[in-house]
Amino acid sequence: MDLHAIQGQRPATILQSMMHYKVQRYLSLMNLPVNMNLLELKYYCISQSNQERQVATTLYSLEDTISRRKEEIVTEGSGKPSWTKKLLLDNQLLCSKIREEAGELIETLLENEDKSRTASEMADLLYHAMVLLSVRDVKMEEVLEVLRRRFSQSGVEEKASRKKS
Ligand SMILES: N=c1c2ncn([C@@H]3O[C@H](COP(=O)(O)OP(=O)(O)OP(=O)(O)O)[C@@H](O)[C@H]3O)c2ncn1[C@@H]1O[C@H](COP(=O)(O)O)[C@@H](O)[C@H]1O
């Protein structure tokens, strides 16, 4: 902010300049267009938080379904057929499916397959990996927490710091 420019200005004008400066800084930090007006910014924030809520709801509902299947194994035995139960009961099968799904995801890149195939293979891998989390009693929130902690550090910096210690 140019301090010379505000010298001799009325407090209200200075406050307005400061607000404008803060909004511009926020927009540039968020990589948003600097000419975005406040109404557009408001709708952007609302749609972002809806999207975040949808991501969390999807992951947590799937986690919930998997843990219900785990409980069903105890309460109902084999009960009604379920792929999740099969995986929960057989570590070999689970590990081989995770490897297979990771391989299929990689193939979509190497073979330059349709984007929808990449999304579908990633969904398969994510689901199977989440069953492994359940077997290990690791909550999705613990994984997300690890990712959030890494936000402040680049992967290259993190690797370099590991080599020093
Ligand atoms: N998200 C999934 C999910 N993704 C994949 N799969 C199953 O994983 C299995 C293996 O997937 P593949 O694509 O490898 O199937 P495949 O038959 O080996 O096919 P190929 O690739 O070999 O041709 C299939 O039976 C899929 O249906 C899933 N099974 C279950 N879920 C979720 O878990 C919930 C509970 O499912 P059940 O435990 O089966 O009731 C479901 O409602 C879903 O929300």
Q: Whole-angstrom Cα distance, residue 118 to residue 114?
A: 7
Distance from Cα 31 to the centre of ligand 1, integer Å: 38
User: Residue 164: its pLDDT value, please?
Assistant: 63
Per-residue buried b or exposed e for 111-142, using 16+ beta carbons within 10 Å of the residue's own CB: eeeeeeebeebeebbebbebbbbbeeeeebee
Q: In angstroms, rounded to a whole number, what is the distance separating the alpha carbons of residues 29 and 145?
A: 23
Please tell me if the CB atom of residue 82 comes closer than 6 angstroms to any atom of ligand 1: yes
Quick: pLDDT tens for 100-146: 999 999 999 999 999 999 999 999 999 999 999 999 999 999 998 89
Ligand 1 close to Cβ of residue 69 (< 6 A): yes
Compute, in angstroms, the gap from residue 128 CA to the centroid of ligand 1.
Answer: 8
Q: What is the pLDDT of residue 104?
A: 98
6-15 pLDDT, tens digit per residue, is 677 888 888 8
> Which amino acid, 156?
V
Topology, domain 10-149: Helix Hairpins (1.10.287)
Q: Match 């299929």 to its residue by tokens.
A: 104
